[in-house]
Structures are given as C-alpha cells and as structure tokens.
Amino acid sequence: VPELPEVEAVCRRLHEWAAGRTIVAARFTRPQTTRPTSPRTFARRLAGRQIDRVHRRAKNVLLALTGDLTLRIHLRMTGNLWVDDPANRPSTARAWFTLDDGREIVFDDPRLLGRMEILDAGRASALDQELGLEPLSDAFTPAWLAERAQRSRKPAKVFLLDQSIVVGLGNIWAAEALFAARVAPAAPANSLKPRQIRHLHAAIQEILARAVKSAYEQYRAPGQTLESEGYGVAVYNREGLPCLRCRTAIARVAQAGRSTYFCPRCQR
C-alpha cells in the first residue's frame, strides 16, 4: 500500500519526468477510474493542457494544469504512475496521457481501485482545507502538535493516525515515531509531557524524511514497484523479536482495528 513516502516519491519523479509537457490526449480503459465523469468528458477537459507542477497533498497525487485545473489521482492499494514510451505500457494500465514529446504518463492499477478527478480552483482549495496538516511542512511545529494533543484524549497512536489532524502518517510510521520518541502508544494524547511532544515531533519529521528519501531513490525507474516495508523499520512487524534498544520482546496490540507494535519497556 503506498503510504506518504511512496506517494511523495511518485510525485517528485513525475514532476521531473513530466512538468512542462502538454497532455495531447488521454485514454481510459475503465469508466470507474473517472466516475462520475465519463472518460470521454474527462479526456476532453485534459487535452491541450500543460502540466505546470506535480505535487502531493496527503496521499493524493496532484497535477497542476494550465487553466487553473488540477488532476487529482488517488493510487489506493496498488496504483502506480510513471512516464515511459507507449511500447512499454503494461496490460494493467487503466489510463494513459499522451505527452507532446511522444511519451506517456501511465496509470497502472492492477486492482482497479485508483480514482481520478479534475478539480477546478474552488474544489482544489476546498480539498486542501478539509485535509489535516502535512507533517513535513513548516507549519507542523512542536507547539502546534502540543496544542492539538492537549485537545485529544485519544491514545497517542490513534491520535497520530487521525487524518483530520496530521495527514499521511500511516500505521508503520506512527509506530516507528512512537518507538523513537519512547512514547507508549496507549498513552492519552493530552497526557503527553512537553518533552515527549518535542521528541515525537522530531521523530515524525526525521522518520518521514528518511522514508521519503529512500522511496525516492528506490523509484528511479518507471514502473518500479513501491514497497513500504523494506526500509529497515525498528519496531513495526517485529512482534516477539528483541527491542533494538533494550532487548525486551516487542509486543503487539490492536488499536482502532490496526496492529500496534511497541516495546513495553522503553515506551511508557
């Protein structure tokens, strides 16, 4: 499942590969990709527009186009995007956008779960407003995190996964950040001490920045698979294995329907 680091890597690579190019045609193999808009209408709105910039908001890939339109692509479970020669298009491609240099942006989506939407300026701004804060943005400060934590009785792990607060911090990175900051995943957010908040904030930014760098380096070649779990995690998926700090066995509990991995000794 692509998480924030993988989506960020896709956006950066797509920007390198396609910014400045013009979409001359768009094709879709399935109507559900663009629903409720028909593929034909969708293609007509895209044709002739230049791609100014490719960037990420939460787990959305956003292509800023001339004429104040934004193409929003959500990769969901298995979706992937890259630029390549049409001859290399895979059979699981659900859409492709022909560029003015003859290459194409391929939207590969074996499980048919990805979705696309064209946003006008108003919709793009509304989407931005309704999403939580970006953890890698300058607005995400220890003071901001402390203020939001103060207002929540949720367990720290559940608080971190709340997309209306901070976006894109998935199950893996939330567990890793709590471990790095030595915060118990079950501790209520409003019980965290200023020092714990500072450590948690620093851990979130460090861990995500490292994961983005790693995902970006892995995603050199068009269509390369995106893997979240190969970055040398310290605690995630390590139930029963020794804690890397204190050798205590890593424990697993369910929180809000998701597995949380933590060290019962270091994180309390």
Q: Applying CB under 5 A, what is the total number of residues that bind Zn ion?
A: 7
Among the listed residues 240, 250, 218, the one whose alpha carbon sits nearest the alpha carbon of residue 231: 218
Give the interface segment with Zn ion, choosing from 25-33, 93-101, 198-206, 246-254 (CB under 5 A): 246-254
Return the DSSP state at 209: H
Give the interface segment with Zn ion, choosing from 43-51, 114-122, 221-229, 258-266 (CB under 5 A): 258-266
**246, 249, 256, 259: which one contacts Zn ion (CB under 5 A)?**
246
Distance CA 82, CA 11 (A): 9
Tell whether residue 95 is a contact of Zn ion (CB under 5 A).
Answer: no
Q: At a CB cut-off of 8 Å and minimum separation 6, what does 243 contact?
A: 235, 249, 250, 263, 265, 266
Query: Min. distance of Cβ 248 from Zn ion in angstroms?
Result: 5
Of the candidates 89, 258, 264, 265, the residue annotated as catalytic is 258
Neighbours of 194 (CB within 10 A): 10
The identity of residue 175, as a single letter, is A
Tell whether residue 263 is a contact of Zn ion (CB under 5 A).
Answer: yes
Of the candidates 59, 72, 103, 238, the residue annotated as catalytic is 59
**243, 251, 260, 261: which one contacts Zn ion (CB under 5 A)?**
243
Expressed in percent and rounded to 5, the helix, strand and coil fractions of the chain are 35, 25, 40
Tell whether residue 12 is a contact of Zn ion (CB under 5 A).
Answer: no
110 is annotated as an active-site residue: no
59 is annotated as an active-site residue: yes
Taking the least distance from each CB to Zn ion, the nearer of 223 and 264 is 264
Taking the least distance from each CB to Zn ion, the nearer of 119 and 243 is 243
Give the interface segment with Zn ion, choosing from 182-190, 214-222, 225-233, 244-252 (CB under 5 A): 244-252
229 is annotated as an active-site residue: no
194 is annotated as an active-site residue: no
Is the omega angle on the peptide bond into residue 36 within 30 degrees of 0, that is, cis? Answer: yes
CA distance readout (Å), 95 to 73, 80, 248: 11, 11, 49
Tell whether residue 266 is a contact of Zn ion (CB under 5 A).
Answer: yes
Name 115's bridge partners. 74
Structure tokens at 81: 């995007």
Distance CA 76, CA 221 (A): 21
Tell whether residue 182 is a contact of Zn ion (CB under 5 A).
Answer: no
Structure tokens at 225: 């698979």
Tell whether residue 245 is a contact of Zn ion (CB under 5 A).
Answer: yes
Query: Which residue numbers are catalytic?
Result: 2-3, 59, 258
In the complex, the residues that contact Zn ion under the rule CB under 5 A are 243, 245-246, 248, 263, 265-266
